[in-house]
Amino acid sequence: MKNFLYLLSAVLPAAFVSGNTVSTTINVVNRNLAPDGFTRSTVVANGQFPAAPIIANKGDRLVITVNNRLTDPTMRRVTSLNLDGVFVQAPENFDEGQAFVAQCPIAPGHSFTQDVQLDPNQAGTFWYHSQLSVQYVDGFRGPLIIYDPEDPQKHLYDVDDLNTIIQLADWWHNSSVDSLAFFAAHDMIPVADTGLINGVGRFNGGPAIPFAVVNVVQHRRYRLRIINESARAAYNFSIDSHNFTIIETDGVNTNPISGNQIPILAGQRYSVVVNANQPVGNYWINAPFSGGNAASNPNQNLTFSRAILRYSGAPNRDPTTPRTEGPTGSALHQVVEAQISPLVHNPPPPADIQLVFSVAFTPLQNGTGWRINNISYQPDRQNPTLLKVIQNGAEAQFNVSEHTIVLPQHKTVEVVFPSNDDDELHPFHMHGMNLWVVKPDSGTVNNTVNPIIRDTTGSGAAGTVVRFRTDKVGAWIYHCHIMWHMAAGLGSVMLVDPAVTQATVRPGVQWDGLCPAYNALPADEQ
């Protein structure tokens, strides 16, 4: 709580004056923690999981210093930091955080400061995490909230504070290093042991850890900021006896739409308004998740993936109602992407360039893994994309496995994901910019009038079409947010105008030192 209060008091002045500098330090450390009662070594920010929230107002400047103090030899000892969903501006592409694209990882004993001027028009619900392979599986993840003091939807809710941040996370008892080795050996993504809500969960046979509690007062309206910080799991979120109204997706205000369940893929965020209009009591918050099952991991129990909505005046105990997975049958009113539209009308421009991304999988033993158009993305781990561009501009050369697509500036790119039959809904996430989801996987037709706008959307059996603008130069990775898939090749880099990138991106001495420090490490420390 001390860290929470420090960040809050540091960046939320009474008048919500924007344009402030928000400075914070993240010491990335190993610490033994037990969020579900099972103690294991972790990689965490400032010794805690979930990490303390970073809070800002739109238009602020974020200055975040990451000190790498990792020492555990059984885990990755380099790291990086990504501000997920935040519009890092083109000249600051080097502060984007993607290891081996925007920078080399931060070596043990070294530091790197990311200095990001927030877009004056961007506010909403975001998060931050390690962007090194699957390292955030080990705990380096936390919320990042950008408030809008002139929020056009403020009249819809009464309360929006730290208590109303809902963090969903899958959790493994094994380290990410061991789990990734298992994946490579068996072509099977490790199945999470536990689903956590705000850093708390239970597993079969484990201790009865008290469920996380969201406190409310009867007759008040609460903006819940729901963040799926998982590395694989998709959640179906609901609250017993309560409907809600969705007002934000991935930092974009939406036309209010009501329901009682919302599916949330890895990396996605929603703000929903819940009216505490039920009798005083305790109500289950349900978040059953997909991504493996108890047959694959006997520790997993979906009825434990939950929290409690507790009204002021209710007894300090669990709800007495059954632990279900949420509404079913005629009582279910699920909201899907195809039904959601942006509050501010913003239709996508016609496409200038079309890319077709065919997704497939070949067993890892054959050395390919996940592929887009028969390319399994693997970065150059000595020379990041941006470094090559800064050194060589338009003459920069990339291996096929780097899957770097060079695009001209100021164009509209359409990416078509044909339907796939691999039984996966891949949450593809674009760094640095938003996507018009012209055809979501839940839709049947292309919508070029008022499609949902967000940075992470699913591609699966029904096919998906998105568009984005190349108005920002630099190297921006576009990848599946099932991080095991990304580690096995499911990604590509959108490189916008390398010549202009070379002329405008000036990282500085600290960034210049990242690659020499990383490349000097022995292999077991990388």
For residue 19, the model assigns a pLDDT of 85
Residue 227 DSSP class:
E
For the chain, what percent of residues have pLDDT higher than 70?
Answer: 94
Check whether 350 has a pLDDT greater than 60.
Answer: yes
What total number of domains does the chain contain?
A: 3
Residue 445 inside a domain? The answer is: yes
Which of 339, 367, 388 is a domain's end point?
A: 339
Give the CATH number for residue 318: 2.60.40.420
- In-domain check, residue 124: yes
454 and 488 in a single domain? The answer is yes
Residue 468 in any domain: the answer is: yes
Cβ proximity of 29 and 66 under 8 Å: no
Whether 201 and 65 map to the same domain: the answer is: no
Residues 412 and 511 in one domain: yes
If asked whether residues 409 and 280 sit together in one domain, one would say no
**Cα 260 to Cα 15, 129, 180, 189, distances in angstroms:** 35, 29, 36, 30
For residue 428, what are the contacts with CB-CB under 8 A and spacing of at least 6? 417, 456, 457, 458, 459, 464, 466, 478, 479, 480, 481
Instruction: Tell whether omega for the bond before 50 is within 30 degrees of 0, i.e. cis.
Output: yes
Q: What is the pTM of this model?
A: 0.95
pLDDT above 60 for 15: no
- pLDDT reading at 4 higher than 80: no
* Domain-located, residue 257: yes
Are the C-beta atoms of 379 and 319 separated by less than 8 Å? no
Same domain, 219 and 135: no
Q: What pLDDT is stored for residue 291 in this prediction?
A: 78
Same domain (yes/no): 295, 438:
no
Of 117, 152, 187, which residue constitutes the final position of a domain?
152
Q: Are 132 and 222 found together in one domain?
A: no
Q: Is residue 159 one of the residues assigned to a domain?
A: no
Domain of residue 290, residue span: 164-339
Task: Answer yes or no: do 229 and 203 share one domain.
Answer: yes
- Domain boundary at 152, 180, 202, which? 152
Query: Is residue 299 included in any domain, yes or no?
Result: yes
pLDDT score of 139 more than 70 = yes
> What mean pLDDT do residues 499-514 have?
97
Please give the pLDDT value at position 413. Answer: 98
Instruction: State yes or no: pLDDT of 43 exceeds 80.
Output: yes
The pLDDT of residue 326 is: 96
Query: Do residues 193 and 146 both lie within one domain?
Result: no
Instruction: Calculate mean pLDDT across residues 173-184.
Output: 94
In a domain, 24, yes or no: yes
d(C-alpha 280, C-alpha 294), whole Å: 35
Domain membership flag for residue 157: no
pLDDT in tens, 443-502: 999 999 999 999 999 999 899 999 999 999 999 999 999 999 999 999 999 999 999 999
Looking at the structure, do residues 87 and 13 belong to the same domain, yes or no?
A: yes
Burial of 334: CB neighbours in 10 Å, binned 0-12, 13-18, 19+: middle
pLDDT of residue 369: 84
Asked if residue 1 has pLDDT above 60, the reply is no
Q: Is the dihedral of CA 96, 506, 387, 65 positive or negative?
A: negative
Average pLDDT, the chain: 94
Same domain, 187 and 228: yes
Q: Do residue 125 and residue 179 come from a single domain?
A: no
pLDDT for 57-115, tens place per residue? 999 999 999 999 999 999 999 999 999 999 999 999 999 999 999 999 999 999 999 99
What is d(CA 244, CA 276) in angstroms, rounded to the nearest whole number? 10
- Under the banding of pLDDT at 50, 70 and 90, the label for residue 200 is very high
Q: Is residue 13 pLDDT above 80, yes or no?
A: no
pLDDT of residue 266 exceeding 60, the answer is yes
Per-residue pLDDT, 422: 66
Query: Can you tell me the distance from the alpha carbon of 201 to that of 306, in angstroms, rounded to the nearest whole number?
Result: 8
